[in-house]
Structure 1
Amino acid sequence: MRTVTERYDVVVAGGGMAGVSAAVASARHGAKTVLIQDRPVLGGNSSSEVRVTPHGAAAFHGYARETGVIAEALIQDRVVNHAKIWEDGWTNSVWDMVLYDMVVRTENLTLELNTGVESATVEDGRITRIQARTWGAELIRDISADAFIDCTGDGTLGELAGNPGRQGMEAGSEFGETYAPREATPDTMGSTLCFKTVDTGALTEFHAPDWAVRYDDQRFFADGGRKVPHLECGYWWIELGSPWDTLYDNETLRHELTRHVLGIWDYLKNRDPYWSPRAATLALDWVGQIPGKRESRRLEGRHILREQDLVENPAFGDEVAFGGWYMDLHTIGGLLKEVAEPTTANQWGDPHAASMGSKYVGPFSIPLSSLTSQALSNLFFAGRDMSATHAALSATRVIGTCASMGQAVGVAAGLNHGAENVGDAAMANVAEIQQTLLRDGAFLVHVANRDPLDLARTATVTASSSALVTGVGPSSLSHLGGVDYWKDYPLFPATGRLERRTAQWIIRGAGQSLDTIGLALSNHGDSPTTVRACLYPATDIWDYRSNVGEPLASTELTVPVGGPTWVDWDVALPSSGEEVSYVRIDLEASPDVEWHISPAVLPGQIATYEDRPGHYRRFGSGQTLSFRVNPAQRGYEPQQVISGEARPHRSTNEWRSDPAYPLPAWLQLAWGSQKTIRQIQVTFPGHLLREYHAYPPFFRDPQTLRDYEIQVAGADGWRTVVRVQGNTSTRVVHTLETAVTTDQLRLVCLATNGDPSAGVYEIRAYEDPVCTRPAYAGHEVAV
């Protein structure tokens, strides 16, 4: 056995998506960082060893997908990966290699695979060093550092260092949580083992071993919320936890889960009346041997995130990350219980039933105090070992949210590792951390760009043209590039039948009147019918309150038999305020009437339906329902790119060129005086509307600019300083070899990846290089 001594600024323990995001973020901000991972691949539960596909806020909320480090990886995976995404089991090594490539190419970052933390030394309330063993190399690493980040999932580093931790479910009385049990228990949500099949093209047999669990009752699956959507790969509900401990009994659970996987496949292959004929040529190709954990130990921080923090979504002063999954509280015991999870049992049984109820939350903010130790002055944590109750963890434990937290603590550690008390320094510098996260491409629900160094914020922005919002109809062309419903998941409604109250968000241009709104409706009944319509203001696209006081206008729309027919309403709204804003048109339930879904999606304008009284939920997977407006609204004006938000939220926050004019198009910043510019960052649309699962192989988002130039104005006219070809990234950073002095800067949009309009969410300009460079971008050619 050999021992080596190493010194770093920041140590990140755990190489799942929280750890990868933390390590990359820390290193990008100049901290000498080491990432320690106890497995041979990165990605944690999302890796090819476990194969749980990355979930996040976009599963339930339009334009809510996580950006930053995880977005870079997910976008690149779709660009280079040949595989279609199937839930729980599809993941191949292309994803592993994308993560490996990202980490290896990151300066200041050292990667140590097959290396696990075994001990920690604490002096005066501060971790000074850890010992980690590299298996297969007979090597002990003695590592000292200024700051430590626990992304192990199990809270292993924090436990070794003596940070207080929690396991199980808190009593409802401890934090006043609705979804907590009356009495505290040590039980946790279970772990899942995935599998994958292959179509051999010939009849195949499968015989389960004697030690496999035998299944014979179809009702166990159909009535227990255990949907079998397809036979390609595994299912989340192959889950076991209690009476075993997901931490200490992990190996026992692995074997027990293997018994159940083989037994479930045996049933589907050989005895299920529906699936067996369809499995005739399928063979079991892979069975995972690493259980995907949902929950084990949670470390206590300065704030314990609670159920109420998700439901009420307070604007934490130290907000550094966000989530948007629902409170996904699985039945304790998993396969050993009659019902896997009451919510899903309800969903699968009745597609029109209200699903999740008050468990449907977000997007919600996560504070730095829930990721920072109170007991140890230089320990952060991110992922499912964060400081949260069992109820709150049910919504924060998904991979996208874990990555958002990981990037946050990576920035916090990277910027503050040299302080005497790193945790206190980070909490004191939270405003800088927030602005740094936004600059690095992350998103915060309650925080906008207020970066004093960003020269673009003081510019006047103009463009060659701007798209107008006239609406979309049942026959409008889609420019989504093949992004469709994620078929593995229950996305309601599937049609526009008004079986529930339904609403559509519409953008209003600054200072414009709104005279007429038309809706494309069909009446499937035998006689004309009326539908009540109301128009309300909407603060943002996630303002899900269906009852928000008195409407701006209301009427009864008469819908003739047949259709689709454009039914117009003279709303006669006077000029709006000086800001671009949303209104929401609501139609009350009328089951004979269908509000037609458009194949096109108007950027930033989505629909909802009422899933419970007083509360809306995203319609389908982010559809736009057919509408038209008069006059056309100026919803994509150039000034949107310096609104402070780099995605649709309180506005579209997007400039779009007029699709009637062929590219090239341009977007221009102008100042009243000369500015010195060394670095330009641009954020393009794409990869936000729907979850990663909806995106096909080799996908390049049509909205993302493919070829472009950046030009500066001088005495002799415009001069090109950057030229890029083949871009697929939504955030790009260009650092000029030498700074330029100019009073005008122009982005020339030469070609998109398919959209007839060029689009930009945000543009930034800096005198000095402060933006971190993303891992993947287009090819810069000589100018």
Structure 2
Amino acid sequence: MKTIEETYDVVVCGGGLAGVSAAVASARHGARTCLVQDRPVLGGNSSSEIRVTPHGAAAFHAYARETGIVSEALTAERAANHEPIMENGWTNSVWDLTLYDLVTRTRGLTVHLNTTVEEVKSEGQEIREVVARVANAETALRLRAREFIDCTGDGTVGDLAGARSMSGTEARSEFNEPHAPEEPSEEVMGSSLHFKTIDVGHPVPFAAPEWAVRYDDPSFFYEGGRVPKTLRSGYWWIEIGPPWDTLHDNEALRHELTRHVLGIWDYIKNRDPQLRARARNLALDWVGQVPGKRETRRLIGRSILTENDLIGRAVFDDEVAYGGWYVDLHTLGGLLAENSEPLNARHLDPTTEYAVKTYVGPFGIPLSILVSRDVANLLMAGRDVSATHAALGSIRVMSTCALMGQAAGTTAAVAIRHGVGLESARRDHIAEIQQILLRDGCFLPNVRNADPLDLARSASVSASSQELLRGTGPFSPSRLADLGQWTDHPVYPYSGVLERRCAQWIALGTRPRLDAVEVCLSNSTSAPRPIRARLFVVDGIWDYRVDPGDPVAQTVLEAPPGGPQWVRWDLGGGVDPSSLPANGYVRVDLDADPDVEWHVSEDVVPANLAAYEAQPGRYRRFAGGASLSFRVEPPQDCFSPDNVISGVTRPSESTNLWRSDPVDPLPQWLQLEWPAPQTIAQIQLTFEGQLLREYHAYPPFYRDPQVSADYEIQVRRSGRWVPVSAARRNFATRVVHDLAEPVSADALRVVVQATNGDASAGIFEVRCYADAVCAPTPFGPHTGSPESCLPNGGRGGQWQDNRRHSHEEARAS
């Protein structure tokens, strides 16, 4: 046995999306970092070995897509991959290679694959080293570091270091959580195996081995919430936990799950009355042999996140991430229980009391649940963080875990930089950590850009033009290209028929004034229909209160027979401007009338979304993010150039977006101007796009139409505009431009020459720095001087293999 000793600043154990994000973030901020993964590929449950789709807040909240490191990778994967995303079998090895490419490009990061942590050596309350074994190499690694991050999912490092943990289900009396049972339980959510099929073009038989489980009863599937929605791949509900221990009985569960996978496919192929004809030409192409785990142990941190924090959208001083998936608690026992996850047992009906009660977010996540209470130099990220069983039901999804990983890696690097412990970093340097996360492309619901180094914040902003919000109609062309919906989950409502109360958010401008609002309606009866309409001021696009206060205006509209036709609401000379929030939102609500349809637009107006009343007193996002047809007078200047220095990089309490006038052809420019020359060495741009829906909706080779593809950056020196950088064929939302040498200029322009399809140029944020402080974007475009950015320039970033350099640096230390 060969033993190798290596020393780092930070060691990250576990190579799922939390671990990858933690390791990349740590290394990007100067910490010598090692990532240890016990599998041959990265990605954990999302890898080609398990194939679970990364989920997150955008499944239930428009414009809640996770950004940061996980978005960089997913955006690059979609731009390069020919394979459609399929639930439970979602991708091929292109995703594995995208993650491998990401970590390989990251300077200062060493990666050990096929390496399992077996021992932790501590002194007092601190870990000194982890001992790991490299499979098939007869090699042991002794990895020393100042800080350790447990992203194993199982909390293995923390447990070996003596950290206390939680497991099972807490009783309601402990935290008073709505979904907690009266009595505590040791049971946890189960593990799953997935499979994938292929259409061979002719009938193909399937005979299950005699050791497979035999299924014969259709009611087990169709009444138990186990309805196959597709035969291409499946199924999350092939899940088993108790009576097996999902941690120590993992191999027994793998075999048991294999028995059930083959038995379920045998039933579909040979006996299912609804599906066997459709399955005639399908053959099994792949069956997973690595169980995807949902829950084992949870390490105790400085605080414990509860379901009540999610429901109340608690605001934490140390907010470093966010979530928004519903409280997704699977039935304990899985296939051995009467029903699957309760929402599926209710046929995924989003209007049921259960569905509405589990709907949470977007909510902030505090750093205190990532910092170990017992081990001074241990962070955790992923599903092993300090949370109750009920809270874990929401935050365990992988995109949320990735955000927690990036926060943990950033915190570790900040602690190293300042030479302080993790709790000191959390307590004394939280503002710095938050500003770094925002600068690196993350979103925090309750924190905005206050970076003192960002020169753009002191600039005045103007543009060649700006789009005015006029509205959208039922036949307005879509600007989303081939962006689809998450087909594995109901797209509800399917139409704008007013079976329930519905509403449309309308973004206001810098000097808000409203004279009239029009809605496009159809009346299926032969007589006019009265419809009560109300206009509310709301806090933002995620203000789901049905009655957020007294309406600023209300009336009864008359929908004439037939349609579609515009129905005008004349606001009587205008609503009092003092009651309207500048750069905020109002909402037009129409009461229910099943004889009237409020037409859904083919288009989605950026940052202007619709909702429906799922249960009395509770709105939910309309469909997968949609706009109902409306017109507004006068047009609103809600896409002002000033929005690029609002400090927020997505629609939330306002649009936070500049868009050029789509009537004016490209190129269009955005300009920052200072009263005195500034020294500029680095520019970071955040473009519109990639935020409306989950990645289920993104087809192969997708490049978001709203992202600027070709553009040039110019500075004004001595009254002349001089190009200093450019990009070609960009698909990334966050792009960093390092200038060849710092320039002194009193103004800067971003000139957008082409987008990936949209008629408007769109930018969320511009940042400028005198030094290179922004983290690199390895999957960005080819950038450099305008002369070097030829029209046929390829994908960006110089590829370099940092592994040898990182190993040698680590061993030398």
Q: What range is the shorter-chain TM-score in?
A: over 0.9
CA contact 1:504–1:625 (8 Å) conserved in 2: yes
Per-residue CA deviations over 1:83-139 (Å, capped at 9, x if unaligned) read 011100132000000000000010000000000111111112111111011111111
CA contact 2:16–2:44 (8 Å) conserved in 1: yes
Distance 1:117 1:593, change over 3 A: same
Question: What residue in structure 1 maps to residue 576 of structure 2?
Answer: 574
Matching of residue 249 in structure 1 with residue 249 in structure 2 = yes
Matching of residue 401 in structure 1 with residue 400 in structure 2 = yes
Matching of residue 627 in structure 1 with residue 630 in structure 2 = yes
Matching of residue 371 in structure 1 with residue 374 in structure 2 = no
CA contact 1:524–1:561 (8 Å) conserved in 2: yes
Q: Distance in 2 between matches of 1:138 and 1:677?
A: 52
Per-residue CA deviations over 1:692-745 (Å, capped at 9, x if unaligned) read 100000000000000000000012510000011111100000111211111100
Question: What residue in structure 1 maps to residue 759 of structure 2?
Answer: 756
Q: Distance in 2 between matches of 1:609 and 1:26?
A: 42
Q: Distance in 2 between matches of 1:578 and 1:608?
A: 20
Per-residue CA deviations over 1:53-112 (Å, capped at 9, x if unaligned) read 110000000000100000000000000000011100132000000000000010000000
Instruction: Quote how far apart the aligned CAs of 1:223 are.
Output: 1.2
Amino acid at match of 2:242: S
Instruction: Quote how far apart the aligned CAs of 1:605 are.
Output: 0.6
Q: Distance in 1 between matches of 2:512 and 2:398?
A: 42
Gapped regions of structure 2 (runs ≥ 5): 787-813
Question: What residue in structure 1 maps to residue 84 of structure 2?
Answer: 84
Instruction: Quote how far apart the aligned CAs of 1:781 are.
Output: 4.7
Question: What residue in structure 1 maps to residue 601 of structure 2?
Answer: 598
Q: Distance in 2 between matches of 1:326 and 1:15?
A: 25
Question: What residue in structure 1 maps to residue 805 of structure 2?
Answer: none
Instruction: Quote how far apart the aligned CAs of 1:270 are.
Output: 1.1
Per-residue CA deviations over 1:231-261 (Å, capped at 9, x if unaligned) read 0000111111111111111111111111111
Deviates more, 1:772-781 or 1:603-612: 772-781
Within 5 Å, give how 1:681-696 maps onto structure 2: 681-696=684-699
Question: What residue in structure 2 maps to residue 608 of structure 1?
Answer: 611
Q: Distance in 1 between matches of 2:347 and 2:313?
A: 25
Question: What residue in structure 1 maps to residue 107 of structure 2?
Answer: 107
Per-residue CA deviations over 1:618-657 (Å, capped at 9, x if unaligned) read 1100000100011111110100111110000011110000
Q: Distance in 2 between matches of 1:680 and 1:194?
A: 44
CA contact 1:297–1:385 (8 Å) conserved in 2: yes
Q: Distance in 2 between matches of 1:372 and 1:621?
A: 35
Q: Distance in 1 between matches of 2:769 and 2:425?
A: 26
Amino acid at match of 2:677: Q
Question: What residue in structure 2 maps to residue 429 of structure 1?
Answer: 429
Secondary structure of residue in 2 paired with 1:316: coil
Per-residue CA deviations over 1:24-76 (Å, capped at 9, x if unaligned) read 00000000000000000000000000000110000000000100000000000
CA contact 1:368–1:427 (8 Å) conserved in 2: no
Gapped regions of structure 1 (runs ≥ 5): none
Question: What residue in structure 1 maps to residue 272 of structure 2?
Answer: 272
Within 5 Å, give how 1:516-535 maps onto structure 2: 516-535=516-535
CA contact 2:84–2:91 (8 Å) conserved in 1: no
Matching of residue 302 in structure 1 with residue 305 in structure 2 = no
TM normalised by structure 2 equals 0.95
Matching of residue 720 in structure 1 with residue 723 in structure 2 = yes
CA contact 2:65–2:690 (8 Å) conserved in 1: yes
Q: 1:736 aligns with which of 714, 734, 739?
A: 739
Amino acid at match of 1:152: T
CA contact 2:11–2:145 (8 Å) conserved in 1: yes
> In angstroms, what is the RMSD of aligned CA positions?
1.1
Distance 1:129 1:492, change over 3 A: same
CA contact 1:322–1:364 (8 Å) conserved in 2: yes
Within 5 Å, give how 1:242-641 maps onto structure 2: 242-348=242-348, 353=352, 356-417=355-416, 419-571=419-571, 572-575=574-577, 579-641=582-644
Q: Distance in 2 between matches of 1:262 and 1:361?
A: 36
CA contact 1:172–1:181 (8 Å) conserved in 2: yes
Instruction: Quote how far apart the aligned CAs of 1:273 are.
Output: 1.5
Per-residue CA deviations over 1:326-345 (Å, capped at 9, x if unaligned) read 00011000111111022222
Question: What residue in structure 1 maps to residue 213 of structure 2?
Answer: 213
Instruction: Quote how far apart the aligned CAs of 1:467 are.
Output: 0.2
Amino acid at match of 2:470: T
Distance 1:423 1:139, change over 3 A: farther
Deviates more, 1:68-77 or 1:423-432: 423-432
CA contact 1:331–1:337 (8 Å) conserved in 2: yes
Distance 1:201 1:503, change over 3 A: same
Secondary structure of residue in 2 paired with 1:362: coil
Q: Distance in 2 between matches of 1:739 and 1:365?
A: 37
Q: Distance in 1 between matches of 2:194 and 2:486?
A: 19
Q: Distance in 2 between matches of 1:432 and 1:512?
A: 35
Within 5 Å, give how 1:225-240 maps onto structure 2: 225-240=225-240
Instruction: Quote how far apart the aligned CAs of 1:347 are.
Output: 3.3
Per-residue CA deviations over 1:514-560 (Å, capped at 9, x if unaligned) read 11110011112342211111110011110111121211111111111
CA contact 2:737–2:783 (8 Å) conserved in 1: no
Q: Distance in 1 between matches of 2:204 and 2:276?
A: 11
Amino acid at match of 2:299: L
Secondary structure of residue in 2 paired with 1:20: helix
Q: Distance in 1 between matches of 2:351 and 2:297?
A: 37
Q: Distance in 1 between matches of 2:618 and 2:442?
A: 28
Instruction: Quote how far apart the aligned CAs of 1:489 are.
Output: 1.1
Moved beyond 6 Å, runs of 4+:
none
Deviates more, 1:772-781 or 1:674-683: 772-781
Question: What residue in structure 1 maps to residue 768 of structure 2?
Answer: 765
Secondary structure of residue in 1 paired with 2:257: helix
Q: Distance in 2 between matches of 1:422 and 1:317?
A: 16
Instruction: Quote how far apart the aligned CAs of 1:578 are.
Output: 7.0
Instruction: Quote how far apart the aligned CAs of 1:420 are.
Output: 4.6
Per-residue CA deviations over 1:200-254 (Å, capped at 9, x if unaligned) read 0111000111111111121211111112111000011111111111111111111
Question: What residue in structure 1 maps to residue 792 of structure 2?
Answer: none
CA contact 1:379–1:423 (8 Å) conserved in 2: no
Q: Distance in 1 between matches of 2:472 and 2:217?
A: 48
CA contact 1:347–1:353 (8 Å) conserved in 2: no
Instruction: Quote how far apart the aligned CAs of 1:181 are.
Output: 1.1
Instruction: Quote how far apart the aligned CAs of 1:473 are.
Output: 0.2
Deviates more, 1:639-648 or 1:169-178: 169-178
Amino acid at match of 2:731: T
CA contact 2:327–2:394 (8 Å) conserved in 1: yes
CA contact 2:545–2:617 (8 Å) conserved in 1: yes
CA contact 2:512–2:582 (8 Å) conserved in 1: no
Q: Distance in 2 between matches of 1:519 and 1:493?
A: 18
Q: Distance in 1 between matches of 2:254 and 2:91?
A: 19
Q: Distance in 1 between matches of 2:549 and 2:230?
A: 45
Q: Distance in 1 between matches of 2:599 and 2:339?
A: 36
Q: 1:644 aligns with which of 632, 644, 647?
A: 647
Instruction: Quote how far apart the aligned CAs of 1:512 are.
Output: 2.6
Q: Distance in 2 between matches of 1:578 and 1:150?
A: 45
Per-residue CA deviations over 1:598-635 (Å, capped at 9, x if unaligned) read 01111101111111221111110000010001111111
Amino acid at match of 1:707: D
Question: What residue in structure 2 maps to residue 129 of structure 1?
Answer: 129
Q: Distance in 2 between matches of 1:752 and 1:775?
A: 20
